[in-house]
Chains A and B, each alone.
Chain A
Amino acid sequence: MSTLIKQEILENLLSHTGSGFEKQRASAIDTLRSQGLPTNKSEEYKFTAITKKIEKGIENFEPAAAFTITSDQVKENVFEGFDGVILVFANGTYLPSLSSEIEGLEISHFSEKPELAIGSIAKPEKDPFCALNQSTFEEGLFIGVPKNTQFRKPVLLLNFYQANSGHVIQPRLWIEAGDFAEITFINHTVNLSSSPYLLNKVVEIKGGINSQIRYYRLQNDGENAIEISNLEADLHKDGKFTSVTISLSGDMVRNNLSINILGSNSEANMYGLYLLNGKTHVDNHTNVDHTVANSESNELYKGILADRSRGVFNGKIFVRQDAQKTNAFQQNNNILLSEDATINTKPQLEIWADDVKCSHGCTTGQLDEEALFYLQARGIAKDHAKGLLLYAFAGEVVDHITDESFRDYCIAQVHQRLGSNF
């Protein structure tokens, strides 16, 4: 247990608690006070010493204030060819004046919806940072897609961060798709400062019957940023949820992604790509819980690690006793480009049902020298050939992004990374 976090910092942070949702905040505070933030003895954070990182980098734990940004800044950071609606956030605070006028979605602050069951999907007792957010977040945003609404245009969540050293940013979203509703989110980050800050985000997603939700994100954090995200979705009958997470930079990033399959014939897809260099540390913990029969989950996470970077992948699949006829597939593949790069990968399958199809596999290796030689032997320069091979490896994840403008943007980012730093 981290003493520093228990005594001064925690109390300091708790003194900045936002208002509303007192009951939920109180229970989260209890959880936090009794558990503290994770240490390297905590099983779930064994390879990711994030509390230590926070103690070193974050001095006083003050919430970062909202700030003004211009409409030009918004324009500059929208992908070329993007045809959708834009919600703008500054340090987690929603800025309606810079956001698109949106018809067909319900968008409200949490404070306008005191009945919202926050913490019922992403439960504070599951993760200390989830508890930290729930106890001290200032304001959250509810995005609702009404029943039977197929919201065709993608929704860009454009997050600007500008923090001073020691700042904490704790955004919180609740996304709810009604029965037969459909929506795509693109979460994008723009960093306006290079100071160390802690971003601790919680997203709760509730998918109605036969709903389809896609949530894409590109993590391009500042080199000193510490990011923790807890994204958890409840999926009901015939529902489908797809997550694509692309992590490119940051000091230390920890993503907890959990999907609870609560209705039959539903489908959970989790795709991830981490291209790391320098000393970036990215940890993806995923969890899919099949609780009912006839559901499916597909998971593919791929990593390319250079320099002294470190990747962690932990994929849990639970198949409960009632979840017969489950199909669950998981794959994690890594390429290490440097002797100093590290990957810790751990598939974790717990299966109680007896009539299921589950598979998992992980590979870690170097770039295929034989393939590299083959391309060179055809006249392709070594660096270019490396880029081709690495892109071929990474592209399999990027291909799952359905929005063309965002996919093209990601492809360009990936190419840039593979061409410059590897």
Chain B
Amino acid sequence: MLTIKNLHASIEGTPILRGINLEVKAGEVHAIMGPNGSGKSTLASVLAGREEYEVTQGEVTFKGKNLLELSPEVRAREGVFLAFQYPVEIPGVSSTNFLRTAVNQVREYRGEAPLDAVKFLSLMKEKMKLVEIDQKLLSRALNEGFSGGEKKRNEIFQMAMLSPTLSILDETDSGLDIDALRVVSNGVNQLKSDENATIIVTHYQRLLDYIVPDFVHVLYNGRIVKSGNKELAMELEERGYDWIKEEIDSKATV
């Protein structure tokens, strides 16, 4: 589904990603872990098409297409979904209106008829249950005045509404209390299928107790330096990241 080859990206001339290689197949859950500043969020942003990052080398193919050539909206319509680390508050734009526009523009791209108000509302009701989100929240302006937990729930709710093939969760667990974490991961788990894939970007192992990854990759200094299964995440939780840093840094000096 997704193939990343030797991806280099920089922001304002500073290289952040220095050669990422990753293969994600349908049905898989990949966790990308790593210390702060290792480039985790940059990777998520580059995949979603954030313009501040300049891809200097490498390629990314998504369902056979050159992802890097596509605008952010076309990536979304093709099925890439980024759950933001910091969802943006947008005063004056109602959540419902925004979602209906998004859902229908995605449907139009996929050659599906737009949803009328009634069908849209029933879809919304169905998906709201998934993340236990209150209808009152959705009658407000998008994310405006939402608590941290509500914002993250709203991200997963939007994910459910747009049914993406590749979901990238950027630090979705940060700032969540245990109940919200459970609700959010429960939502993600229910949306998982053999046809879609999930990339979880996180600093902590905690979320991976709820969403079990098939693969765990450690990102350090803009490269994936270690890959394994969920045992690796447990080890990182226990031992921290220093042993990996030391391992890599000592190799570098040799």
Contact = CB atoms under 8 A, between A and B. Distances in A.
Given A391-B92, A392-B93, A377 B105 contact: no
B254 to A, nearest CB: 42
B224 interface: no
B109 A396 contact: no
A4 interface: no
Interface in A360-416: 368-371, 373-382, 384-385, 388-389, 391-393, 395-396
A376 B158 contact: no
Interface stretch (B81-89, B123-131, B234-242): B81-89
B63 interface: no
Interface in B77-130: 77, 81-82, 84, 87-88, 90-93, 98-99, 101-103, 105-106, 109
Interface in A329-385: 368-371, 373-382, 384-385
Nearest to A395: B92
Most buried by B among A369, A380, A382, A391: A380
Contacts of A377: 48-49, 72-73, 75-76, 81-82, 84
B23 interface: no
A401 to B, nearest CB: 16
Contacts of B76: 376-379
A388 B93 contact: yes
A109 B35 CA distance: 79
A400 to B, nearest CB: 14
A31 to B, nearest CB: 44
B135 interface: no
B51 interface: yes
A388 to B, nearest CB: 6
Contacts of A374: 84, 87-88, 90
B106 A379 contact: yes
B50 interface: yes
A374 to B, nearest CB: 4
Given A388-B93, A392-B90, A379 B98 contact: no
Given A373-B50, A384-B105, A378 B90 contact: no
B184 interface: no
Given A378-B76, A378-B98, A379-B102, A373 B51 contact: yes
Contacts of B84: 374, 377
Q: Give the dominant DSSP class at A's interface.
A: helix
Contacts of A380: 73, 98, 101-102, 105
Given A388-B93, A392-B92, A393-B92, A379 B162 contact: yes
Nearest to B97: A388
Contacts of A396: 92
A380 B142 CA distance: 14
Nearest to A374: B88
A83 B236 CA distance: 70
B36 interface: no
Contact of B101 (A370, A371, A382, A388): A388
A35 B103 CA distance: 62
B187 to A, nearest CB: 17
Contacts of B162: 378-379
Interface string B49-78: 111000000000000000000011101110
Nearest to A370: B88
B71 A376 contact: yes
Interface in B174-195: none
Nearest to B73: A376
B246 to A, nearest CB: 37
B244 to A, nearest CB: 31
Contacts of B91: 392
A391 B90 CA distance: 12
Contact of B72 (A373, A384, A393): A373
A229 to B, nearest CB: 28
B50 A389 contact: no
A389 B73 contact: no
Contacts of A384: 101, 105
B143 to A, nearest CB: 9
Nearest to B80: A377
Contacts of A370: 88
Contacts of A388: 93, 98, 101
B73 A381 contact: yes
Nearest to A385: B73
Interface in A89-139: none
Contacts of B49: 376-377
**A-B residue pairs, 9 tightest by C-beta:** A392-B92, A379-B76, A376-B72, A379-B106, A378-B102, A374-B88, A376-B73, A392-B93, A379-B77
16 contacts: A368-B88, A373-B51, A374-B88, A374-B90, A377-B48, A377-B72, A377-B84, A379-B106, A379-B109, A380-B73, A380-B102, A381-B105, A382-B71, A384-B105, A385-B73, A388-B98
Given A377-B75, A377-B76, 17 more contacts: A369-B51, A371-B88, A373-B51, A375-B98, A376-B49, A376-B71, A376-B72, A378-B158, A378-B162, A379-B73, A379-B76, A379-B103, A379-B162, A381-B73, A384-B105, A391-B92, A393-B92
Interface of B: 48-51, 71-73, 75-77, 81-82, 84, 87-88, 90-93, 98-99, 101-103, 105-106, 109, 141, 158, 162
Interface of A: 368-371, 373-382, 384-385, 388-389, 391-393, 395-396
